[in-house]
Structure 1
Amino acid sequence: MKQNVKVNTPIHIRPASHEEAGLFYSQMKETEDAALGTVGHVRMDFGSSGKGFYHTWWPHNDDQFNTKEFKGELQEVVDALRADGPLKDLASMRSYCYRNGGGITEDGRCFGYIVETEHYRYCLRCTPSPGDYQGYLYCYDLRQQQMAQGKPVGRVTFADGSRMDYTDAQEYLRCIQEELPQHSVTGFRYETLTDDPVVRKQVDDILFDLYGEENPQSLADYENGSNRDMKMGGM
């Protein structure tokens, strides 16, 4: 993970509470990992000198949430934490932890800090001791958490007044694919409620396909939010 100079993401880091300690460790059950929307975690250490920076990426949930959008933001978050924060070097981590608190273990060896952005939560576990892996950064997709908690991905309505909210993205997409060709008869309408760029693109792909066209927008366009100005983006 190469350090860049420019950081575009506003970073606000806060100490964790004891109640949040579980967010700083891998979940043993796949269902829990899925419910948390875990993208993956980065294991880090400063090497024998205490001034290096070595890291390994560990994917979660089959790496399916590791999008280009996430990768770019992760780089910016790590850059900010390295520039003037607990990931600068071992001495800086030790000083930061003792100055800011955030202890998450009874023995006082590990400290937790949380960074939240619009779509992601980053949970940094610090162990400011030589000989250990000094940092673990767990990354969570908040949109996936919302879907797992039963918040609607999309909503469909019909001319007779019936309405259905979908919390399962695949079921929502299947409904659109089946009902859209008959929309002029049934009054079928849909509204995509999730900000997940993958789902939003799949919805528009179905619409363009109905008219024999190819969606001109790439997934990167959806990750950047440019698709919100599309004229055919929903019905």
Structure 2
Amino acid sequence: MDFRVLLPNERSYTYSQSQQLSMQTGCIGHLRTDMDSNGEGFFSSWDDFRKDLKTQEFKDEFDTVINELRKDGNILCNRSTLSKYCFSTPESSFGNDREYGVRVDTEQYAYLMRLNPYKGEYNLYCYCYRKDWLDSHLEKAEKGIRFITPHYKEIFRIPDGNQVRITTADGQKLDRTCRYIDDCHVKVGRNLYHICEFAERMEQAGNTVVPLRSSLPEQCYSSLLDTGMVVILKRGETGYYKTDIPFTDKESAKALVREYNDKLGVSKAQEAAMQTGSMFGFQVPGADPKGYDENGMPIKTKQKDRGDAR
């Protein structure tokens, strides 16, 4: 069997999915385990999803996989070994200190595991999939989720699992996680839509929708182009927030902004995208950091050779 750290786009599949996603990905069910207060136990329970896929071949193989991982020195041996693996493998973290992920593949099945090294909590959730079904869905989801006008004009795309912010006609802001179902269907929050149906509903209600890209920080510092004043920009919001930072000159302000953003872990590309979003809306292509180089300069798209065309 092949063992590796979960990729970021696979982490969502270590939680219970909607029926549509579970059917498409060939989810068989999941195992939940607690290693007891002393860290040496293995109290588990199983939840079925697709009993028709839970063949004797799968059950035999799953037992083999779990028993192999429970051997001395392997990650499920006990909570101490599990903790050691999690804290020494930061690339497996979901972005916090309580969730870590690994994937085990066999010829036919994929076992996506969410690990928690702490006492008093479930230490393992293992979601079991038909590998070919899951990988096919993940490949399609890489294209991202399309948001369009009612006339099918694409406005923006977001990666599977990212959020959008819906601003209602009365100014209420609703942040919703979105999941890719297929090229024409999306789950927004708890509701499933055809992408055109969602666009029509938003237009009829007078709502606006902007992406909250996970590639952008929650906020960053920037300086105004005209005055040089240091301000704070927030993801998904146009305009800026004033600060109490005294202004001396533009160059000093830029240096200060860079210092503050470095401490926040904000790159120059992210700052440039936040600047564009704050001025023109976060739905525009320029509000995506992938359109900028490491110095925060726009990446020029290559023009196709038109030959002798005039």
TM-score bucket (shorter structure):
0.5 to 0.7
- Alpha carbons of 1:140 and 1:69: their partners in 2 closer, same or farther (altered >3 Å)? same
Q: TM-score, normalised by structure 2?
A: 0.42
Which residue of the partner structure matches residue 130 of structure 2? 141
Please list the CA deviations of residues 48-79 of structure 1 after superposition, one character each: whole Å capped at 9, or x if unmatched: 11101110011113x22100000010011001
The one-letter code matched in structure 1 to 2:85 is Y
Partner SS for 2:70 = helix
- How much does 1:133 deviate? 0.3
Secondary structure (helix, strand or coil) at the match of 2:4 reads strand
Give the alignment's TM-score, normalised by structure 1.
Answer: 0.54
Counterpart-to-counterpart distance in 2, 1:102 and 1:123? 15
Is this contact kept in 2: 1:112–1:125, CA < 8 A? yes
Q: Report whether the alignment pairs 1:55 with 2:37.
A: no
Deviations 1:80-131 (A, max 9, x none): 1111321111001000112233434232311000011110000111000011
Identity %: 30
Residue aligned with 1:113, SS: strand
The reply on whether 1:91 has 2:80 as its aligned counterpart is yes
CA separation in 2, counterparts of 1:118 and 1:56?
A: 25
Instruction: State the shift of 1:148 in Å.
Output: 7.7
Alpha-carbon distance in structure 2 between the residues aligned to 1:85 and 1:42: 18
Counterparts of 1:98 and 1:130 in 2: how far apart (Å)? 15
2:14 to 24, 31, 36: 24
User: 1:14 aligned to 2:7?
Assistant: no
Instruction: Give CA-to-partner distance per residue, 1:138-160, whole Å, 9 cap, x none.
Output: 100124458989xxxxxxxxxxx
Return the alpha-carbon distance in structure 2 between the equivalents of residues 102 and 75 of structure 1. Answer: 27
Q: Structure 1 counterpart of 2:9, which letter?
A: E
Q: Which runs of 5+ in 2 are unaligned?
A: 139-310
Kept after mapping to 1: 8 A contact 2:105/2:131: no
Residue type of the alignment partner of 2:2: H
Indicate the residue corresponding to 2:70 in structure 1: 82
Give the aligned residue type for 2:128.
Answer: C
Contact 1:17 1:102 in 2 (8 A): no
**1:123 partnered with 2:112:** yes
Q: Distance in 2 between matches of 1:100 and 1:24?
A: 18
Does the 8 A contact of 1:17 with 1:104 survive in 2? no
2:3 maps to a residue whose letter is I
Structure with max Cα Rg? 2
Q: 1:44 aligns with which of 23, 26, 33?
A: 33
Q: Which amino acid aligns with 1:19?
A: N
In 2, are the aligned partners of 1:37 and 1:140 still within 8 Å (CA)? yes
* CA–CA separation in structure 1 for the residues paired with 2:92 and 2:105: 19
Q: Which has the higher strand share?
A: 2
What amino acid maps onto 1:109 in structure 2?
R
Structure 1 portions without partners, runs of 5+: 1-10, 150-235
Matched, 1:34 2:13: no
* Structure 2 CA distance for partners of 1:146 and 1:125, relative to 1, 3 Å: closer
Give SS of 1:133's match.
coil
